[in-house]
Structure 1
Amino acid sequence: MTRYLLTRLWQSAVTLVIASIVVFWGVRQLPGDPALALAGEEATPERVAAIRADLGLDDSLLVQYGRFVGNFVRGDLGESTRTGTPVTELIGATLPVTLWLALYAIVVAVVVGVALGVVAERYRGRWPEWMANAAALVGLSVPNFWLGILAILWLAAGLGLFPASGYVPVAENPASAFYHLTLPAVILGTSLAAVIMRQTRASMIETMKTDYVRTARAKGLGRGRVLMRYGLRNSMIVVVTIVGLQLGGLISGAVVTERIFALPGFGKLTLDSVFTRDYPVIQAVVLIITVGYIVINLAVDVLYSVINPRIRVGGAS
């Protein structure tokens, strides 16, 4: 296990270095000049040149990258070229909003997806399976932004069951915070719940055909008990894989949901930074998401052997 973890950590470090190069180069390929965006369209060439020099944009890309890596290693993400606020403060104020939203959405997606997957397998060929498949098809087919608009019109503005917008910090009032996040979390987790449902159903169907399940049934165990004891546990491997891959995607893909429900999260910060060519903020946001993906994938690999003891890391028997 130790050797495997060291190997994965080394691979993650290499991935992070390559990602930092791609991010640094890609950000600078964005159209537009951040100095001009900061100075304004009517600024004099001298003013624009002074801002470029102050931001270090006249240096070579190699020098800029070296300065960027050095600052990142020291925990200095720079300052926003748009507001002058330290990037760490901007991220500290917005990242918790998106993290709570993503975690809440995953909890909703796992509960709903696994429940529908179990129902679909338990009642194969009957109307509960058809209903579960129809719900999954809707979740996969209808865009989140459209579901969000409908939810605001019907559940928030129409019935008044949930607030249409706004955010309350979890530390201040947890109950109110989760109440405000419920509708966005349900919308954000809809497509993930559909994927989990389909994969859980398929995994359980395959598991129920295995020899050890037939042996358990032959010993007198009921179908429901076998389904929950063997089928559901083995399907958790698929669920963990999906959740691990989608958590980073939810964090980076919550832009639309946050805009619809007016949440001051990572998505709003990202869009504002792209529109104003705020290089330090864009670089920090993308790198943080990249680190999140790397850490989550590593955690998922380790969890495999915990969920299913038959799986051994490093190819050990």
Structure 2
Amino acid sequence: MARYLFHRLWQSALTLLLASIVVFLGVRALPGDPAQAMAGEEADPAAIAAIRAQLGLDEPVPVQYLKFLGHTLTADFGRSARTGTPVTEMIGATLPVTLQLALYAMLIAVLAGMAGGVIAAVFRGRWPEWAANGISLLALSVPTFWLGILAVLYLAVGLDWFPASGYVSPFEDPLRGIYYLTLPAVILGMSHAAVVQRQTRASMVGTLTADFVRTARAKGLGRGAVVFRYGLRNSLIVVTTVIGLQLGGLIAGAVVTERIFSLPGIGKLTLDSVFSRDYPVVQAVVLVVTAAYIVINLLVDVLYTLIDPRVRVSGSLR
């Protein structure tokens, strides 16, 4: 285990290093000059040059990157070029909102997706499977932004079932916090639920037709026990992999949902920073999301051994 973790950690460090290079160069490839944006259209060249010197944009690109890397290693992302607020504080204030939304959406996706996958696998070839597959296809086909707008118009504004926008921390008021996050979480989790459902169904169909399952049925084991003890349990490896990948995607893909429902999360912060060409914030946000994605995948690999003791973390069987 220790050797495996060491191997994965240095791979993760290398991935983060490459990601930092891509992020640093990609941000600087954005059109426009942040110094010009901060100074305004009517600013004279001297003021723009002073801002560029303050931000370090007048130095060679390799020097800028080395300084950026050095500050990143100490978790010092500098200050926002737009507001002057420390970037660490801005991320600390917005990241919990996105994590709450992503975890809630993933909970909905897992429960709905696994339920639909079990139904489609058990009743394959009959109308429950067609209904489950039709719902998953619809969830995958409809764009999130369009579905979110419809939800705001009809469920929030029209029927007044949910708030149209806003955020309440679940730590301050748990019930109101969950109430405010429910509609955005459902919208964000629907497409991910469809992916979980399809993978659950595919894995369970293969398991339920295996020889050991037929033997269990021949010995008189009930249908429910066969489905949940053998079918669903042996499908958890595939489902866990999908959940890990989807959770990383949820964190990175919450931008549109947060924008629609006016949630003060990291997605909204990213969009505002891109539009204002706020280099320090964009760089820090992308690196934090990349690090979260890497950590989630590492945890998923370690969870394999807890779900199925036959699987070693090295990837081989005992």
- TM interval, shorter chain, is over 0.9
Structure 1 residue runs of 4+, over 6 Å off? none
Equivalent-residue separation in structure 2 for 1:191 and 1:316 (angstroms): 33
Aligned-residue offset at 1:124:
1.7
Indicate yes or no: 2:129 matched with 1:129: yes
Equivalent-residue separation in structure 2 for 1:316 and 1:183 (angstroms): 43
Q: Which residue of 2 aligns with 1:261?
A: 261
**Cα deviation 1:183-219 (Å, max 9, x = unaligned):** 0000000000011111101110001121221221122
Aligned-residue offset at 1:29:
1.1
Equivalent-residue separation in structure 1 for 2:158 and 2:126 (angstroms): 34
Q: Which residue of 1 aligns with 2:140?
A: 140
Contact 2:167 2:181 in 1 (8 A): yes
Equivalent-residue separation in structure 2 for 1:148 and 1:75 (angstroms): 35
Indicate yes or no: 2:55 matched with 1:63: no
Taking the TM superposition and a 5 Å limit, the aligned residue runs for 1:57-96 are 57-96=57-96
Equivalent-residue separation in structure 1 for 2:206 and 2:147 (angstroms): 33
Q: Which residue of 2 aligns with 1:183?
A: 183
Equivalent-residue separation in structure 1 for 2:160 and 2:181 (angstroms): 15
Which is further off, 307-316 or 285-294?
A: 307-316
Equivalent-residue separation in structure 1 for 2:215 and 2:294 (angstroms): 40
Which is further off, 300-309 or 176-185?
A: 300-309
Equivalent-residue separation in structure 1 for 2:145 and 2:30 (angstroms): 26
Q: Which residue of 2 aligns with 1:4?
A: 4
TM-score (norm 2): 0.97
Equivalent-residue separation in structure 1 for 2:95 and 2:38 (angstroms): 25
Equivalent-residue separation in structure 2 for 1:303 and 1:219 (angstroms): 32
Q: Which residue of 2 aligns with 1:152?
A: 152
Q: What is the DSSP-based 3-state SS (H/G/I as helix, E as strand, rest coil) of the residue aligned with 1:124?
A: coil
Change (3 A) 1:153 1:300: same
5+ residue gaps, structure 1, are: none
Q: Which residue of 1 aligns with 2:52?
A: 52
Q: Which residue of 2 aligns with 1:108?
A: 108
The code of the aligned residue for 1:12 comes to: S
Q: Which residue of 2 aligns with 1:294?
A: 294
The code of the aligned residue for 1:166 comes to: G
Q: Which residue of 2 aligns with 1:303?
A: 303
Equivalent-residue separation in structure 1 for 2:187 and 2:252 (angstroms): 15
**Cα deviation 1:231-274 (Å, max 9, x = unaligned):** 10122112211111111211111111111111111111001111
Aligned-residue offset at 1:89:
1.1
Taking the TM superposition and a 5 Å limit, the aligned residue runs for 1:174-213 are 174-213=174-213
Equivalent-residue separation in structure 1 for 2:37 and 2:152 (angstroms): 35
5+ residue gaps, structure 2, are: none
The code of the aligned residue for 2:237 comes to: I
Contact 2:87 2:284 in 1 (8 A): yes
Q: What CA RMSD, in Å, does the superposition of the two structures yield over aligned residues?
A: 1.0
Q: Which residue of 1 aligns with 2:251?
A: 251
The code of the aligned residue for 2:2 comes to: T
Equivalent-residue separation in structure 2 for 1:267 and 1:293 (angstroms): 15
Aligned-residue offset at 1:223:
2.4
Contact 2:310 2:317 in 1 (8 A): no
Equivalent-residue separation in structure 1 for 2:205 and 2:317 (angstroms): 28
Equivalent-residue separation in structure 2 for 1:202 and 1:39 (angstroms): 57
Which is further off, 282-291 or 150-159?
A: 150-159
Aligned-residue offset at 1:221:
0.8
Aligned-residue offset at 1:224:
2.1
Equivalent-residue separation in structure 2 for 1:23 and 1:125 (angstroms): 48
The code of the aligned residue for 1:31 comes to: P
The code of the aligned residue for 2:159 comes to: L
Q: Which residue of 2 aligns with 1:31?
A: 31
Percent of counterpart pairs with the same letter? 69
TM-score (norm 1): 0.98
Q: What is the DSSP-based 3-state SS (H/G/I as helix, E as strand, rest coil) of the residue aligned with 1:104?
A: helix
Equivalent-residue separation in structure 2 for 1:238 and 1:149 (angstroms): 33
Q: Which residue of 1 aligns with 2:120?
A: 120
Equivalent-residue separation in structure 1 for 2:219 and 2:279 (angstroms): 65
The code of the aligned residue for 1:184 comes to: P
Q: What is the DSSP-based 3-state SS (H/G/I as helix, E as strand, rest coil) of the residue aligned with 1:313?
A: coil
